[in-house]
Structure 1
Amino acid sequence: MYTKPRTGRQPLKAGLLVLAIASAALLDVPAATIPNVPLLTSTSAEPNIMMILDDSGSMQWEMLPDDYADGYFVYPRPSGVYGSSDYDNRVATFENGQPYNAVARSPQINRAYYDPSITYKPWSQADGSLMPNAAPSCAPHNPMNTALGCRDLATNNTQSFNALRCSSDTSCSWGPSGTQTFWPATYFRYNGGNIWNWSSYTRIDIRPTTATYTGDGRDKRTDCASAATATCTYSEEIQNFANWYTYYRSRVLTARAGIGRAFAAQGSNLRPGFAAINKGSTSIDGVNTRTVILGVRRFTGTDRTTWFNELYTHPIPAAGTPLRQALNDVGQYFSRTDSKGPWSTTPGQSGGTDYTCRQSYTIMMTDGYWNGNGASTAGAQANNDGTAGPTITGPNGQTYTYAAVSPFKDSRSNTLADVAMYYWKRDLRTDLANEVPTNYIDPAFWQHMVTFGVGLGVSGSVDPTTAFRAIFDGTTINWPDPTSSNAALLDDLLHASVNGRGGFFSAKNPTDFAKALSDTLNNIVSRNGSASNVAANSTSISTDSQVFQAKFESGKWSGELEARAISGTGVASTPTWTASANIPAPTSRRIFTRSGGTVVAFTWANLSSSDRTALGSSDVVDYLRGVRSKELQNGGTLRNRPTNNILGDIVDSSPVYVKDNNTVFVGANDGMLHAFDASTGVERFAYIPGSLIGRLQALTDPAYAHAYYVNGNIAVSNKSDTGGHNYLVATLGAGGKGVFGLDATTPGSFAATDVKWEYTDGASDNDLGYMLGQPIIAKMNDGSWSVIVANGYNSTNQRAVLYIFDLATGALKRKLDTGVGGDNGLSSPGVADVDGNGTVDIIYAGDLKGNLWKFDVSANAPSGWTIAHGGSPFFVAKDASNNRQPITAPVTTQVNYLNTGDNAGKRFIFFGTGSYFRDTDPTDTQVQTWYGLVDDTTMTISGRSELKQRSIQDQGTYGGSNVRTFSAATANDMAGKKGWYIDFSTSPGERIVTASTMYRSAQPVLVTASRIPQNDPCKPGGTGYVNAVNAFTGARLDFSFFDVNGNNAFTDDVLNGNPIGSVDLGIGMPTKPLLVGTRLVVGGSSGGLGSIRTNFPNSFKGRISWREIIKD
């Protein structure tokens, strides 16, 4: 972004107005050997999740809760309906006037019964689609075993069964023996009063003779065309009732519906297993194991299908509820140390790797209260929460010892809570390094088991919110004796969840159950990452200063743009707004595209016939606009998206703030460039490049494999320079071979006429590659404002080529081909104004072969623009072993403004080497280098021998951060040198792929970020440093630049007596640093933001590099 020259700044030549944006932080390109997902997420230690199903006999029941379950069923059941032994066929009577008929069939009392306010969807299948609707005339008793028969819900039924009458919850008797005739599609509305009075209810029969049904919460339904008026037709109502009967009628059916829906919404980035509390001992991956039915596996392919099949078909016997034994059995499973166990990358097979950071969770679902056998492991029977735990040592020497305090401790042993604590406070794998990620509720960095409790229609006496809040505030929780009452037994499940640092919920109906379980899974598997830079709306801190950060969530492939306030003390932890919460309603969104050669609003009616064919149906267009009704989770056929977020993942497109119209622009992999109001986060408009239309349908595919769309960088002109217009230029980045231009002057009224041009590989240009670099907007010597952009990588010709387009029209003014090919491509350019007349004269850019090119564009006509030095590179970057070093980072240029010393008044070129966009890059350990080269305008630089070598001198820790110092300069040691270089050889694989930025402080300061990728999923993304050196010597600064310990002083920020010049902010791999006030703000691959105070005396503060991401 462009920053106008100011007093105290000395641009290369005062008067050149160049508009540029920081380069993409992490580069990713789709090609045969390059992954189509961000490198920082290409590996991960998927969490283990053991789902324990309560298969006790009460799960067969059709009454909930137990208070009214004297009659187990509301319909006569067939024998063996759940594949095992049966309970007595006790059925609530159907007799009119008998209160138990109403109690049993009123959703307000029996929460398992049909509730007309709920839309009952069929079960989810492994691929996320839904099973078929149940036929009202033959609704199966068990959807997985239709041979057991079905019930005709549209006619009178006559059957023999044991009818039960009850006049209170303690007074029941058998009704008349023999048969009863009843209308099966019936429910009772409870009107208030004594629930055991027949007069407290209104009976509603769902019959063909009744055309419509109103009220009773039907306005919440999603299956009724007139739900807005709380009205459903007979066919809609009877279909909903049939789905309830087949898929939700009993406790186990409801549990399967909720569990299936929650797990079907998950991707492959988790490893579930399956268990049931009454399952006996069998061999599980080579070890005799009770309770566990399926060991953990990656959630894909046959393993995914097998898991769903077990969930839906596991027999439910008339047996007890040995929860303590079951939880202990799973804890023992997670304690395995053999090569086929749950910690391995190949569970069930030898030869895998036991990841030290893998997390293990158990979700225990039950409809009632434990009984039967306790834990078989002696240690698990003890009062584990009432006694201190062992001291466990973790990363960086940290230790943790469980202290027996509230809300964890009690005075009893052999409880469910004791079992959970036993497998939480102990290191289950003492042979593995303790590198398990911690979070706000779970401080355990050792291998342990986290327990989640799920109650179906049951509740205890202790409030779950209070219990979990007590983890933080220490409030005393008086846990009751579990043996004292049924409610106390459920409190023990809550207590186990608190001890296991998981979560707990008790759902009252199927909808709540499914949602709560989905939230639990989302909490477990969510992986956030950020790979784009940050932008800011001000270069100095004021009351309304904000930074804008883009994020993505892998697996679900959703995105987020956040605005956060920044002050002198740092960046706010809570966003001011999030873009996902401010997307307008689908019909209100202003989305444009190019279709059939014409720019149109993105609606089905406006698209050309060929584009309609490519998209398939209007449902795809509606989906992309934000309609959710056709997603699998809502009964449709399209890919599910996360709740409350339709924004696609934002990976490499860095947000750009434009002060002229107070708008933030960013590209997303939902196929759109988005414009957001910088004050509110509301989307102002979006644009879909026409070249992407043919690929949009893939975004709706339930089997969607991540791909890039609008993933490139953006540049926006200052309207005071470009005829009163803010021209926006963006590349597709890894999303395609193309670049486009818009007139973004008035985002609030953006129209089809504001789409100016698009240049793609459809132009039959074999030099056009995936433009991962940063476009630059600048004034050329022919008097035009133009776009300067590198061709990028993986072009058909595989050469390094520079493009120059007319800014307003997109006309190709000049293409400069270096002729150097063979898996090559040009990277982000940098520009220089040599004569100070406000136009670009020189362009520099690197390529994958390590060549640094100098392009001479000083001629008045494009035909005179050439490659300098006779078409030879100005410099070739090579390591100490003479291996070429790829240049993917943008080039920065700056004149040495110092009046004295070596190289005074000469132009410097700054860049780093390294690559991070190919699948082999994370494991590449070639030594990469930071360069500062002098261009004396006449000669090339032959190699390192003409440069002064600097080095990383010391490494250590200070103020809790990893820090480094650089070597010092000595008097006149730059004499005769054409620049400097620093090899980043102390950390294997360290590289620079973002721009270097120069600032004026007590000395000229050059800042860049370096990244150290990790190929270990236990170190997500990697690490890296923010580095600062003297720009014109490459040596360490003579003063402390970073306030590492945050004490608002700089004199103590030293390592071994030398100023610290390099600091790891603990945010993963850092993106390009952004100066706001005196703080450097940096995004990181972990998804967080880091900031650090820097030493800028007031008389010197000011950015003097041309390459900035502030718009003012």
Structure 2
Amino acid sequence: MFVLDNSGSMDFEAQDGYSVNDNCKGSTDWWSDCYRKYGWYSMRSSDINTQYYNPSITYAARVNSGGVKLVNPIVFVDNQSSGNSAPSHSTYTTATGASGKKFTYVLCAGNDCSSSGTRTVVDINYPPGSGTVDLPAGHKRTECGKNATSCTADLERQNIVNWYQWYRTRTLAVSTALGQAMQSYENKFRVGYAQYNAGGNAADHIVRGVNYFKDDPNVTANNWKTKFYDWIYGINPSGGTPSHNALMLAADYFAGNETQTSSGATPTNPWKNDPTSSGAVNNTDLSCRRAYAIVLSDGAWNSGTTKGAGTKYASTAGATNYSGNPSGNPATLQYDPNGAAGYNSGTLTTKLAARNLYIPYSDGGISSNGFADLTARYFWNTDFSSLPNNVPAIDGQHNPTFWQNMTTYTIGWGLTPSGDSGTSGGLTWDQINAYNNDWLAGRAATQPKWADNRSSVNLNSSNTSDSLRVNDFIRAGFTGGGRSYSVYSGEDVRRALDNALSGMVGSGNDAGVAVSGNSSEFQTLENQYKYTTEYQTADNSGDIKAFRLNADGGYLNVDGSGKAIPAWSANTKMPALANRKIFALSAYDANAPDWGAAKRKELTPTTRLDSLPTDFTALLNADNLQRLDNSFIRYMLGEDPQTDINGTIYRSRKQPIGASVNSPPVFVGGRIDMGYSIYGSVDGKDLYAAYKARKSALPPTIFAATNNGKVHVFNAAKDDTTLTGTPAGAELAEFMPKGAMASQIDLANSNFRFRYTLDGPLVEQDIYDRNSQTPAGGAAAWRQLVLGTGGRAGSFMYGLESPMNTANRTPTKNHFLWELDNKTTGYGDLANVTNNPTAGQLNDGTWVMLTGSGHYAGAGKKVGLYVVEAVTGKLRAFIPLPAGFGNDDTVNGGNRGLGGVVAVRDTSRRIVAAYAGDANGNLWRFDLRTASFSVSYNRPLFTTPGGKNQPIYATPTWQTHPGDATACTYSTSTQCGAIVVVGTGILLDEDDLQTPATKQAIYGIWDQTPIGSGDKAGFGKVAATDLVEQTIALASAKDGSGIETGKKFYQVSSNPVDWRTKKGWVLNLGAILYTGAMANGERVVGDLANLGSSVVITSFLPEDRNLGIESCTATGSLPNIIYVLDALTGKNKSSFDIDSNGVFDLYSIVSIPSGGFTRGNVSSRNMVGQPNEGRPDLKPDADCTNEVGFLTGVGGTQKAGDGCPAKGWRRSWRSVVSPPF
């Protein structure tokens, strides 16, 4: 619920108390109605009158409900005259009328307008002409060009008229900012609204109850979003400031006590599944929705208007010990104004856990009748519904409540804490921030001076200063479970709203996971660890956490509510600043590899900015605002506060780890066994077994890319004693690619809005450095490389090394091997690479990384495969798609890009080919024999029937094909090619969430070219008519039991494939439906993997943009469907133990309502080679192998197998790592 103040003061065009007529240009005071000296100048200076036109801000146009910018009819504004207490603007809509007019604004240094030496008067005349206007230092203008120091006079004119039309008054600015902020949240909230006054008197009813925040294109009356915009743009300011009454309207609505809206309509029921319904709730309605109120006001609430706050709720123990079942287990919680149980424990871990549960904002009972007590009442002491109490707690936001309460945010226009306004000993924002930081860090924490050192205060008394009610309004945002913001401009309002709204939806832990263990340990997952990421995009914060697993892959340690207890959190294990360092590369050219020390830099807390090479300072001081000492480097390393040369404080961060939104962590230890010591003849074959044993014995590490621009390396040992002096979870090092260094200034900006900085995948690879090329030097040796990309953040890639030193795994600057971007020679077609690279040795001996060129390269760029030297980044080859299939594909309007790449190795274990799909539905084979380096067949191997509506994004998998028993039959001397399995679907941008026209599918395609050979002569492109269709048997649906309870299992058909006439198979997705899921929306975005003779495919179902999937699971994840099919034919297999009796049943599909397996999954089994490649000996697998694996995602673990008929079978295992989308 939005609760907006529409009191009369919201129509003010200036700060209170101005008298600004034309006589007020001098030092005269109290004469000629001049209540403020130099008031004519002060009123026109945003340094003094923060509401006035500010040349440092871009005043964006107001938008309509569809996000379309409105057209400003005003050509010019003249402000040369003033009334006694307000400016007297004259507006003109034609050039003729505006001719000769002038607009003046004033810049007052040090907030002093008293002399010509401290004020700069800027005149904008009409017509503006072709001249320019200087911009203030540190401006935030976006329309004048990058790093602009001036703007054209006409752009300045347009900015002025936009300010006048849409930001001049408080109501205009608030409405415009609210309309802009809400565009990013279509259909992500149910939205209702109330206002303070109606007809000049305190409102009796809400304006509208919550409903979908979207317009129904098929029903004109259901234009809910348009109605919201009509309301915010049509508010009429009039009346007083009865804040308590206005908030109670929202609370009464949530409680079901509102009988009508202000228009007389029956209000909707906020707790119904159907938000258009006004009926009573029942047991079919979801009980886990969280209710919010955002209150925006410009003044201290009126004395004598308090209601509902007779009890000091914020300073008194909760009246109820609430009980519920928020995570499937019983839970209880009762508010304690001193803090949660354990807040003062002598055990640090206990203390930190308690203090992070919630932050109390008691004032010791000093104040009474406050707005803060009312918001605390609705947050801690009110259950608005009889529905079960299972609202998921919000990790990272210190909100443990699980009942149907109301969280309140307060936004105060011009409302400054009393101490910051000059009251000696009064409340300040520094006090509030220090209290929060000290509380969460486990230090002694002093409550802010909410009551300005008074021992008792009745906030409802007319004798009480308004400044104390302003303090109380600020406190109310914190006691209400949200937070508070002071705003002074439309830009401040937009930023505060975006921060609050994104905090409600912009959080998660769905980037993916890593799982510990070595390549021969996966008979069970018992005592292995799962590593997860968390993120809050509102403030770009995150965490990496480790959880110990039980034998089935569930959490071993849980609290009384069933919530998993982490073994460690990286934020709480972060070393002291003095022990942190950043490694970076300077002026590295991948095409001329240089291992010199000068290329590799170590940034420490003592590193001065002016000591860095020029390519670093060009990025870190591009705006010339950083101090040249070590302050900005210390800020990058995590120290707050720090300031720039103007004293502007850099953005404060609540924790040192940034958000990992799409990049899962990578476990770097002994999981991978490429089988090089047993199979083939790669360089270093005789040394591989010892290397594998060594990397399995050494302490493992976690590499994690985050959107603070760093790859963090953490100690992933299972205890705190493995590395002397370095506990498990502690950071060992940080790497910063220059592609992310370029964003450090933006990350320090207090106006920062989340954007991707370093968000691509990371992969571990075994590489033999036969020429001792790495800067760490030494003899030729196997090296454990970690290869990464910028992902959505940019077109760059980099290579790191995890050292094999015997003492520890701590990297140095020498373990930053290489980096490159799309400006590096030969890499001009590199786009945003969001799929995992792969690596290996070519038949000419070169060890390479393979990756697609990515997506969104843009017009004129080619789409293709990059072959990159793995140790140096040097370009080995770029193989573009044939003419007419890249961005020159006129049929499809271009080609967004190439997806994940799987390598094909021959019996020597050297890469000879690769498969990848593209965004237009083409499946490609690349001939990587070094004498060839070409696109096989000079055309696609197969194109999906839906083309660009059935894109291939996820990395394919392949297995050896046995042949057709006629033209070709596999033998030790005869290869019959490969069966290549792909899943279709993509999710890279908002357009991909539009309801697709075509259902997605899984395809198995026979590539008849023998592995290691040239293109098979006469082999034509596979067509849809060459495929046998398998279907999902919906009638076979069966509910799981035991540990599989809550899941549903299905069989698929087993139609035979006659390889003499057919070339593959297809299984169409979209048959298994969920209420609220997008029609035709099921898709595959995670990499495929082999499991014996089966293939594992995970799909997910996004929510319908016009409905929305809603669930009361603890994770809130989208539905997932896991397919374990026969790779050769797509037929049904014994893949799941549906009744938990230890035997795999003849079911190939499991449907999980809220699975958490969307992306970044890890499949654990004892294996040799990469998970999506065929057997190292290139033999076709038997029809079943009895291999078993565990698929672990954010939401849990699913056991699967390649089951044979029950008869004394053995198990074998192997590990798989899949990337994010």
What's 2:865 paired with? 741
Q: Is it true that 1:206 corresponds to 2:157 in the alignment?
A: no
How far apart in 2 are the matches of 1:439 and 1:567?
Answer: 22
Counterpart mapping for 1:294-333 below 5 A: 295-299=210-214, 302-317=223-238, 319-333=239-253
How far apart in 2 are the matches of 1:649 and 1:112?
Answer: 38
Cα distance change, pair 315–716 in 1 and its aligned pair in 2 (3 A): same
Cα distance change, pair 543–423 in 1 and its aligned pair in 2 (3 A): farther
How far apart in 1 are the matches of 2:120 and 2:336?
Answer: 57
Cα distance change, pair 851–509 in 1 and its aligned pair in 2 (3 A): closer
Out of 830, 839, 853, the residue aligned to residue 959 of structure 2 is 830
Q: Is the 8 A contact 1:220 1:227 kept in 2?
A: no
Give the letter aligned to residue 263 of structure 1. Answer: M
Q: Figure out how many residues of one structure are paired with residues of the other and give that number.
A: 811
Cα distance change, pair 536–675 in 1 and its aligned pair in 2 (3 A): farther
| CA displacement, residues 855-895 of structure 1 (integer Å, 9 cap, x when unaligned) | 7937966549999xxx999999999886328889988789x
Out of 127, 141, 146, the residue aligned to residue 222 of structure 1 is 141
Q: Which is worse superposed, 220-229 or 458-467? A: 220-229
Give the letter aligned to residue 390 of structure 1. Answer: T
How far apart in 2 are the matches of 1:646 and 1:228?
Answer: 21
What's 1:259 paired with? 178
Out of 364, 387, 391, the residue aligned to residue 431 of structure 1 is 387
Q: Is it true that 1:108 corresponds to 2:11 in the alignment?
A: no
Give the letter aligned to residue 685 of structure 1. Answer: D
Q: CA deviation at 1:1034?
A: 9.6
Out of 404, 408, 412, the residue aligned to residue 455 of structure 1 is 412
Q: Is the 8 A contact 1:952 1:986 kept in 2?
A: no
Give the letter aligned to residue 419 of structure 1. Answer: L
- SS at structure 2 position matched to 1:755: strand
Out of 387, 401, 404, the residue aligned to residue 444 of structure 1 is 401
- SS at structure 2 position matched to 1:220: coil
Q: Which is worse superposed, 364-373 or 1025-1034? A: 1025-1034
How far apart in 1 are the matches of 2:817 and 2:882?
Answer: 30
Q: Is the 8 A contact 1:771 1:790 kept in 2?
A: no
Q: CA deviation at 1:290?
A: 2.0
Q: Is it true that 1:382 corresponds to 2:311 in the alignment?
A: yes
Cα distance change, pair 289–114 in 1 and its aligned pair in 2 (3 A): same
Out of 662, 669, 685, the residue aligned to residue 821 of structure 2 is 685
Cα distance change, pair 387–404 in 1 and its aligned pair in 2 (3 A): same
How far apart in 2 are the matches of 1:188 and 1:893?
Answer: 67
Q: Is it true that 1:1023 corresponds to 2:1195 in the alignment?
A: yes
What's 2:325 paired with? 394
Q: Is the 8 A contact 2:904 2:1011 kept in 1?
A: no
Q: CA deviation at 1:387?
A: 4.0
| CA displacement, residues 1045-1067 of structure 1 (integer Å, 9 cap, x when unaligned) | xxxxxxxxxxxxxxxx99xxxxx
How far apart in 2 are the matches of 1:769 and 1:151?
Answer: 49
Q: CA deviation at 1:524?
A: 2.5
How far apart in 1 are the matches of 2:890 and 2:62?
Answer: 50
Cα distance change, pair 51–882 in 1 and its aligned pair in 2 (3 A): closer
| CA displacement, residues 1059-1103 of structure 1 (integer Å, 9 cap, x when unaligned) | xx99xxxxxxxxx755xxxxxxx9899xxxxxxxxxxxxxxxxxx
Cα distance change, pair 74–892 in 1 and its aligned pair in 2 (3 A): same
Q: Is the 8 A contact 2:134 2:149 kept in 1?
A: yes
Q: CA deviation at 1:327?
A: 1.1
Q: CA deviation at 1:305?
A: 3.5
Q: Is the 8 A contact 1:537 1:657 kept in 2?
A: no
TM-score (norm 1): 0.57
Q: Is the 8 A contact 1:786 1:804 kept in 2?
A: yes
Give the letter aligned to residue 136 of structure 1. Answer: F
What's 1:883 paired with? 1052
Q: Is the 8 A contact 1:550 1:655 kept in 2?
A: no
How far apart in 1 are the matches of 2:298 and 2:403?
Answer: 32
Give the letter aligned to residue 408 of structure 1. Answer: S
| CA displacement, residues 517-538 of structure 1 (integer Å, 9 cap, x when unaligned) | 3323322231444267654566
Q: CA deviation at 1:217?
A: 2.8
How far apart in 2 are the matches of 1:1024 and 1:509?
Answer: 46
| CA displacement, residues 380-438 of structure 1 (integer Å, 9 cap, x when unaligned) | 54332224232222321111112233423643543211211121122222224422342
- SS at structure 2 position matched to 1:744: strand
Q: CA deviation at 1:446?
A: 1.9
Q: Is the 8 A contact 1:536 1:546 kept in 2?
A: yes
How far apart in 1 are the matches of 2:277 and 2:62?
Answer: 32
Q: Is the 8 A contact 1:1010 1:1025 kept in 2?
A: yes
Cα distance change, pair 656–306 in 1 and its aligned pair in 2 (3 A): farther
Out of 349, 352, 361, the residue aligned to residue 407 of structure 1 is 361
Give the letter aligned to residue 1166 of structure 2. Answer: Y
| CA displacement, residues 459-505 of structure 1 (integer Å, 9 cap, x when unaligned) | 22333324544764564455423353222101111221111111112
How far apart in 2 are the matches of 1:950 and 1:229?
Answer: 62
Cα distance change, pair 215–331 in 1 and its aligned pair in 2 (3 A): same
- SS at structure 1 position matched to 2:212: coil
Cα distance change, pair 232–866 in 1 and its aligned pair in 2 (3 A): closer
TM-score (norm 2): 0.53
Give the letter aligned to residue 505 of structure 1. Answer: Y
Give the letter aligned to residue 866 of structure 2. Answer: L
Cα distance change, pair 839–410 in 1 and its aligned pair in 2 (3 A): farther
What's 1:334 paired with? 254
What's 1:530 paired with? 511
Q: Is the 8 A contact 1:893 1:910 kept in 2?
A: yes
Q: Is the 8 A contact 1:391 1:399 kept in 2?
A: yes
What's 2:878 paired with? 755
Q: Is it true that 1:675 corresponds to 2:797 in the alignment?
A: yes
| CA displacement, residues 79-129 of structure 1 (integer Å, 9 cap, x when unaligned) | xxxxxxxxxxx9996979954445544443333334444444444444163
Q: Is it true that 1:811 corresponds to 2:935 in the alignment?
A: yes
Cα distance change, pair 861–655 in 1 and its aligned pair in 2 (3 A): closer
Cα distance change, pair 674–202 in 1 and its aligned pair in 2 (3 A): closer
Q: Is it true that 1:643 corresponds to 2:753 in the alignment?
A: yes
Cα distance change, pair 311–726 in 1 and its aligned pair in 2 (3 A): same
Q: CA deviation at 1:206?
A: 1.7
Q: Is it true that 1:135 corresponds to 2:75 in the alignment?
A: yes
Q: Unpaired segments of 5 or more residues in structure 2? A: 24-28, 82-87, 217-222, 258-265, 339-359, 418-425, 452-456, 513-662, 671-694, 720-727, 775-784, 801-814, 963-968, 983-1000, 1037-1049, 1055-1065, 1068-1083, 1110-1116, 1169-1184
Percent sequence identity is 16
Q: CA deviation at 1:984?
A: 7.6
How far apart in 1 are the matches of 2:975 and 2:1101?
Answer: 30
Q: CA deviation at 1:251?
A: 3.1
Q: Which is worse superposed, 774-783 or 478-487? A: 774-783
Give the letter aligned to residue 433 of structure 2. Answer: T
How far apart in 1 are the matches of 2:974 and 2:1162?
Answer: 22
What's 1:857 paired with? 1010
Q: Is the 8 A contact 2:710 2:737 kept in 1?
A: yes
What's 2:990 paired with? none
Q: Is it true that 1:189 corresponds to 2:108 in the alignment?
A: yes
Q: CA deviation at 1:758?
A: 1.8
Q: Is the 8 A contact 2:108 2:119 kept in 1?
A: yes
Counterpart mapping for 1:500-539 below 5 A: 500-528=480-508, 529-530=510-511, 535=666, 539=670
Give the letter aligned to residue 432 of structure 2. Answer: P
Counterpart mapping for 1:554-593 below 5 A: 563-569=712-718, 572=729, 582-583=739-740
How far apart in 2 are the matches of 1:251 and 1:769?
Answer: 47
Q: Is the 8 A contact 2:900 2:917 kept in 1?
A: no
Q: Is the 8 A contact 2:763 2:786 kept in 1?
A: no
How far apart in 2 are the matches of 1:75 and 1:748?
Answer: 70
Q: Is it true that 1:150 corresponds to 2:126 in the alignment?
A: no
